[in-house]
Amino acid sequence: KQEVTQIPAALSVPEGENLVLNCSFTDSAIYNLQWFRQDPGKGLTSLLLIQSSQREQTSGRLNASLDKSSGRSTLYIAASQPGDSATYLCAVKATDSWGKLQFGAGTQVVVTP
């Protein structure tokens, strides 16, 4: 059974510092891995999707890496801003599933001005 873990559960950084968020998964047989952002009282917003054949994906200040063999993904957010404050969740889609995502519990990020 796939287990997805995100450590730490919460993180506080001063504005301008780079953010590093970690995600680990137990079964390397994945189809893709996705990073989402969740703001309080709102749904999830997809940030990046990395296919299993890719090593990384970039969008603006966001960069996500994937190491399937070690069961790890890292989301980097460069030059953090107060608007980056949110909960960040990673989710994996298994190769034998019909699109079902297995989510981690998320990392709550606070960026202080």
Interacting residue ranges for other proteins, rule: CB under 8 A: 4, 31-32, 34, 36, 41-46, 49, 51, 89, 91, 93, 97-101, 103-106
Toward other proteins, which CB reaches closer, 18 or 26? Answer: 26
Q: Which two tokens stand for residue 6?
A: 């995100």
Toward other proteins, which CB reaches closer, 14 or 52? Answer: 52
Tokens 């990384």 — which residue? 56
Distance of closest approach, residue 89 Cβ to other proteins, in angstroms? 5
Distance of closest approach, residue 46 Cβ to other proteins, in angstroms? 5
Toward other proteins, which CB reaches closer, 1 or 14? Answer: 1
Which residues are CB-neighbours of 36 under 8 A, at least 6 positions away?
Answer: 44, 45, 46, 47, 88, 89, 90, 91
Alpha carbon distance 33, 101 (integer Å) = 9
Toward other proteins, which CB reaches closer, 68 or 93? Answer: 93
Distance of closest approach, residue 111 Cβ to other proteins, in angstroms? 21
Indicate the burial class of 107 (C-beta count within 10 angstroms; 0-12, 13-18, 19 or more). buried
